[in-house]
Amino acid sequence: MTLTSAIKASRRSNNKRATRGRGAAAASAASAMWGGRFSGGPSAVMERINPSIGFDRKMYRQDISGSIAHAEMLAAKRIIPPADAKAIVAGLKRIEAEIDRGAFAFKVALEDIHLNIESRLIELVGPAGGRVHTARSRNDQVATDLRLWVRDAIDEIDAALERLQAVLIRRAEEHADTILPGFTHLQPAQPVTFGHHLLAYVEMFGRDRGRFADARRRMNESPLGSAALAGTSFPIDRHMTAKALGFDRPCANSLDGVSDRDFAVEYLAAAAMCAVHLSRLAEEIVLWCSDQFRFIRLSDAFTTGSSIMPQKRNADAAELTRGKTGRIIGALNALLVVLKGLPLTFNKDMQEDKEPVFDATDTLVVCLAAAAGMVADMAVDAGAMRRATAGGFMTATDLADWLVRAGGMPFRQAHHAAGRIVKLAESREIGLDDLTLADMRAVEPRVTADVFKVLKVESAVKTRTSYGGTAPANVRRACKAARRRFLKGRAAKGT
């Protein structure tokens, strides 16, 4: 149905309602749950724009957990009979089992996951099921559910990031001695080891894990019991429900409890930064796979062919990871725009918080899996990497450093002399180490035969022993340190 036809249908429905009313039998299921004040049902357009059950059903486990904790607290505080709480808990567990096995009938007319579950609960246990909503509102219920869901998502993402780090560390250790060009401005700059290059991403993803962990700590406060916005007159124990749900404490302010979505924004910000890091890795994989580099090769598991060019092997998994970053950044922007003009407290705009969070999570999880798969899968061509260091005069900095150490020259003067020697080699279309001693002495008389010890890329790499440098010995130590810092369990063994 198009929007226009929906509006026309709505008008026809409203006209009929005006002449004869809808009647109890025609009232929507939603109005039976919350519509005591309403005599009519929603328009056709409202029935399309209002429900969230199409996406918030993802939170069914969190919703059931919250309701169980709430019911048990209500019984402990003698707000509802213990027998009713026992029936509610049993009914909720049965509903969870029904949803798990695909036997639960979700109803759009019931709008959301909260009313769908409560309605089914009343069907199963009778009027006692209606007591579960005592001293709470859908406002604090949905805020609690989403916090629980995001918290679970962070735990899943952290595990995926750890797996990716484990693969990167393992491959870095394998290639602690493999030399390739290091780039600035995508121009050859200095030789580095491939292991060192991979460990750079271990650090990036480590910071991502830190951001997610920080967000998790800040969000770990329970909104449950804030009710609609002002708290409740029932003698509830919010600390009890917070503890039962694994929160550190209840939210201190009921207004903030129902209206805060900072936690979702912060989560999406961490997800967006992580996606950017994945995109940078994906871009390098695309370059390394290209015919111009040939540094690595991906198997059929992570590449596709062309419908017209039989020779093609496209790094589509990497390209899609790079492209999907836009979806996650878009999710962050979307939620920020939703929230930017909202007064306290709850507004229905907030229903738009879930789809960006859900989509960004699904996208990030699959991209993390793809990245780990590609890093594990890639076949490294160490020869191609080494051959690529022949151009670009990548040991020119080592020449300048040697002039400082052996010739006692100020670095800026040594830099100038090295530049003139590079210019000479460039004019002859040869490498620095192909120049003769006489050639270099003609430019700078303080050059001696010892200079040739630093002009080979292997020497240049081995001398970079400063903390965090690219020397193979450094890389091996850094791999061990990274395992201690980031990995646990099976991942610590690089499996």
Structure confidence by residue, pLDDT tens digits, 100-158:
999 999 999 999 999 999 999 999 999 999 999 999 999 999 999 999 999 999 999 99
pLDDT in tens, 159-207: 999 999 999 999 999 999 999 999 999 999 999 999 999 999 999 999 9
Give catalytic status of residue 185 as yes or no: yes
Give yes or no: 306 in active site.
yes
**Residue 490, pLDDT above cutoff 70:** no
Whether 79 contacts 117, CB under 8 Å: no
The pLDDT of 326-352, averaged and rounded, is: 97
Q: Locate tokens 């709008």: which residue?
A: 111
Tell me the per-residue pLDDT of 368-389, one tens digit each, with 9 for 90 and over: 999 999 999 999 999 999 999 9
Of 222, 170, 218, the C-alpha closest to 380 is: 170
- Candidates 88, 83, 70; CA nearest to 124 is 88
Residue 26 has pLDDT above 70, yes or no: no
HSE-CB at 328 with a 13 A cutoff on CA atoms is 29
pLDDT over 80 at 12, yes or no: no
**Side-chain-side CA neighbours of residue 241 (13 Å):** 31
- Beta carbons within 8 Å of 434's beta carbon, 6+ residues apart: 425
The residue from 5, 39, 290, 306 that is catalytic is 306
Angstrom distance (rounded) from CA 254 to CA 227: 7
Phi-psi region of 237 (alpha: psi -120 to 50; beta: other; left: phi over 0): beta
Q: What is the mean pLDDT of residues 472-487?
A: 98
- The predicted pLDDT at position 6 comes to 44
Q: Are 148 and 474 in contact (CB under 8 A)?
A: no
Q: Out of 185, 233, 427, 466, pick the active-site residue.
A: 185
Amino acid at 38: F
Q: Mind listing the pLDDT tens digit for each residue in 460-473?
A: 999 999 999 999 99
pLDDT tens readout for residues 416-432: 999 999 999 999 999 99
Q: What's residue 43's pLDDT? A: 81
In the prediction, which pLDDT does 494 show?
46
The token pair at 119 is 């309605």
What is the residue-averaged pLDDT of the chain? Answer: 91
Per-residue pLDDT band at 36 (split at 50, 70, 90): low
138-174 and 194-219 helices, crossing angle to 10°: 160
Would the pTM count as exceeding 0.95?
Answer: no
- Burial label, 375 (beta-carbon count in 10 A; 0-12, 13-18, 19+): buried
Q: Cα-atom radius of gyration of the chain, to the nearest Å?
A: 31
